[in-house]
C-alpha cells in the first residue's frame, strides 16, 4: 500500500472531476432549496447515505458533497471515489497547514495539540489512501474499518484543537480548527458509504 497522491489520475472516470471544498448550502432565510439537496432527493442511493449521517454532519452537507453541476454519482463505486478522494484532499490540506505551525508556534498548549494532530492526520491519510488504492485494484475489503479509523483520528484532533483554543488563538489556528470540523463530517460520510459494500467474513 504505497503513498497516494491526490493529483494522480485514477482509472475510474468519476474522480476526474474535482469538487469545491464546501459547496454552498442555501440558508432557510433565502427560502430556496439548495439545488444539490433537490438532486439528492432524486438519487435514491445518495439519499440512503445522507439520511444516515450524524445530525452534526447533516443531510444538506452530505448532498452537497456528492453533487455539483457536472457530476452525478450512479453507483457505490462513484460514491466511494467522491467521498474518499475529497476527504483525502482535505486531510492533506489540513496537514500541510499544521506542519509549518509546529516549527514556530509559541503557545505551548496549541503547539502540543498541533503536534499530536499531525500524527492523527498522517494516520488518516494512510487509511483513506488505502481505500483509494483498493478501489483502483477493485479490492473491496474493510472500507468500513478504514473509514472508522480515519474518523477516529480526525475526531481526536478536533477535540484537541477545541480544548487548546482560546480567544487569543491565531487566525491560522482558528482556521485549522474550523476545517477540522469539516473533515469530521466528511469521514462520517465515508463511513456511511463504506457500509454499502458487502464484505467477506
| pLDDT by 10-residue block (mean), the chain, 201 residues | 41 38 40 63 89 93 79 85 95 92 78 92 98 94 96 95 82 89 96 89 61
Q: Does residue 8 belong to any structural domain of this protein?
A: no
CATH of the domain at 137: 1.20.140.40
**pLDDT at residue number 109:** 85
Which residues, at least 6 apart from 105, have a Cβ–Cβ distance to it below 8 Å?
111, 114
Q: Does residue 67 belong to any structural domain of this protein?
A: yes
DSSP state of 43: -
Q: Between the CA of residue 13 and those of 10, 76, 106, what are the distances in Å?
A: 8, 13, 46
Domain of 148, in residue numbers: 31-201
How many domains does the chain divide into?
A: 1
Cell numbers describing residue 200: 467477506
Question: What is the spatial distance between Cα 55 and Cα 185, in angstroms, rounded to a whole number?
Answer: 10
Q: Does residue 38 belong to any structural domain of this protein?
A: yes
Q: Does residue 24 belong to any structural domain of this protein?
A: no
Q: Does residue 122 belong to any structural domain of this protein?
A: yes
Length of the chain: 201
**pLDDT at residue number 178:** 92
Q: Does residue 12 belong to any structural domain of this protein?
A: no
Question: What is the spatial distance between Cα 111 and Cα 149, in angstroms, rounded to a whole number?
Answer: 24
Please tell me whether residue 143 adopts helix, strand or coil conformation: helix
**pLDDT at residue number 166:** 82
| DSSP string for 89-127 | HHHHHHHHHHHHHHHH---HHHHHHHHHHHHHHHHHHHH
Q: Does residue 99 belong to any structural domain of this protein?
A: yes
DSSP state of 142: S
pTM of the model: 0.79
Q: Does residue 9 belong to any structural domain of this protein?
A: no
C-beta separation of 65 from 18 below 8 A: no
**pLDDT at residue number 62:** 93
Amino acid at each position: 500500500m504505497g503513498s497516494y497522491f491526490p493529483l494522480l489520475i485514477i482509472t475510474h472516470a468519476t474522480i476526474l472531476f474535482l469538487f469545491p471544498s464546501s459547496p454552498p448550502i442555501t440558508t432557510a432565510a433565502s427560502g430556496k432549496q439548495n439545488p444539490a439537496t433537490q438532486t439528492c432527493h432524486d438519487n435514491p442511493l445518495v439519499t440512503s447515505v445522507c439520511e444516515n449521517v450524524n445530525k452534526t454532519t447533516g443531510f444538506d452537507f452530505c448532498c452537497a458533497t456528492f453533487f455539483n453541476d457536472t457530476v452525478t454519482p450512479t453507483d457505490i463505486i462513484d460514491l466511494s471515489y467522491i467521498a474518499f478522494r475529497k476527504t483525502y484532499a482535505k486531510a492533506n490540506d489540513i496537514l500541510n497547514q499544521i506542519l509549518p505551525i509546529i516549527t514556530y508556534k509559541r503557545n505551548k498548549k496549541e503547539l502540543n495539540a498541533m503536534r499530536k494532530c499531525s500524527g492523527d492526520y498522517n494516520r488518516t491519510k494512510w487509511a483513506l489512501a488505502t481505500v483509494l488504492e483498493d478501489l483502483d485494484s477493485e479490492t473491496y475489503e474493510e472500507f468500513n474499518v478504514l473509514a472508522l479509523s480515519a474518523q477516529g483520528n480526525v475526531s481526536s484532533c478536533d477535540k484537541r484543537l477545541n480544548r487548546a483554543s482560546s480567544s487569543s488563538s491565531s487566525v491560522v489556528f482558528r482556521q485549522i480548527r474550523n476545517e477540522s470540523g469539516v473533515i469530521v463530517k466528511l469521514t462520517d460520510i465515508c463511513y456511511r458509504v463504506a457500509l454499502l459494500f458487502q464484505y467477506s467474513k
